[in-house]
Amino acid sequence: MTVVRDSAGRYFASFVIETGPQETLPGSPTEIGVDLGLTHFAVLSDGTKIDSPRFLRRAEKRLKKAQRDLSRKKKGSANRAKARLKIARAHARVADARREFHHELSTRLIRENQAVAVEDLAVKGLARTRLAKSVHDAGWSAFVAMLEYKAARYGRAFVRIGRFEPTSQVCSTCGVKDGPKPLDVREWTCGACGSTHDRDVNAAVNVALAAGLAVSARGAQVRPAPVPAPRDEAGTHPKLTPTAAA
């Protein structure tokens, strides 16, 4: 057993044990696509929206005050060490709350759905933008990692789709690519079929489609399946006359 003390002064005991084979969960008829974001932490292809707790943002006022108190303490003093420990404990509480939220949501999604699909986000790239603090606060990478290992443990399917899939640009009803849209556009109407979409829900449905999930969590087919060509016309070029083709 290894005993570890973290920066907040907490002690953890780490040890390894052998376990038997994991028990798979009962089958579920639903498959879900998940669109991760900042306005909502996650939007599901069935229309469910999960608010972002924003643990770090909510604790910022308390953290700033603790940081100011630390800056006033004399370097090397006992009071400075106490102030530093206070800051470390505040950050640890934020991290623990975020981790608990990730565990609860990932376990729920894995238990309720036979297959879960998410987009492979470029977190490192987003962390270099003006949204860096919000991206780190959301903790997408840790959440997706939990989904992946819990799916493997309990016999569920987990799929990552490519980060370059235009999930926000494609109509999930007819499949027509309607082009990029500014972030302030939260709802739009497809020019081809006239369907009105919530931007995030539409993206979540497209995540499910790109992953090869045939149905949404509503149980209805999301996009009409392709109709095969008749056998007697499959080899005929549209520009050739029947005589020429013969």
Question: Which one from 35, 46, 148, 178 is the annotated catalytic residue?
Answer: 35
Let me know if 35 is a catalytic residue.
yes
Let me know if 119 is a catalytic residue.
yes
Question: Which one from 31, 46, 119, 178 is the annotated catalytic residue?
Answer: 119
Question: Which one from 46, 148, 178, 200 is the annotated catalytic residue?
Answer: 200
Contact indicator for 169, 178 with CB cutoff of 8 Å: yes
For 228, 235, 237, the CA distances from 242, given in Å and listed in that order, are 20, 11, 9
Let me know if 232 is a catalytic residue.
no
Contact indicator for 53, 41 with CB cutoff of 8 Å: yes
Residues 6+ apart with CB under 8 A from 193: 171, 173, 174, 176
Catalytic residue numbers, as ranges: 35, 119, 200
